[in-house]
Amino acid sequence: MTIDEIRDNFELLDEWDDRYRYVIELGRTLDPMPEAEHSAENKVNGCVSQVWLSRQIDRGGNSEPRLKYLGDSDAHIVRGLIAILLTLYSGRTPQQILSTDALAVFDEFGFREHLTPQRSNGLRSMVERIRSDAREALAAAS
């Protein structure tokens, strides 16, 4: 699924209850995260829920490295937010990640008004974690 498909589906849903259900459905599409990946190293701090993001760097020959992610949470709505984040970021190069403003996309979808402050902080923590990974990967490549 692409971010444009998610955007189009979101626009079809007028009620926030329907949008929440859709986000929860997106969370069910996440690839399963192996239990071993639910580690302290992969835990995202700053989230009220338990959230894990595990990163793999695919160096794929001569091309720029790509960061691939698995994500999981113990909260259904957060799993959905992770699914949207990974649609934006997973499989992208560090440069693409750093040039993508995920928080602007979430604002465009209207999440700023509809997430609790704690969830918004957790979302920012997840985005910052991925952007930090991208900066590290760029530094390692140079």
Active centre residues (catalytic): 47
Reported residue count of the chain is 142
* DSSP output for 14-25: -SHHHHHHHHHH
CA 39 – CA 55 distance, rounded (Å): 12
Identify each DSSP E strand in 2-141 by its residue range: 51-58, 66-73
CA 10 – CA 1 distance, rounded (Å): 13
Q: Which residues contact 91 (CB under 8 A, 6 or more apart)?
A: 58, 66, 67, 68
Rounded to 10 degrees, the C-alpha dihedral 33/57/53/78 comes to -90
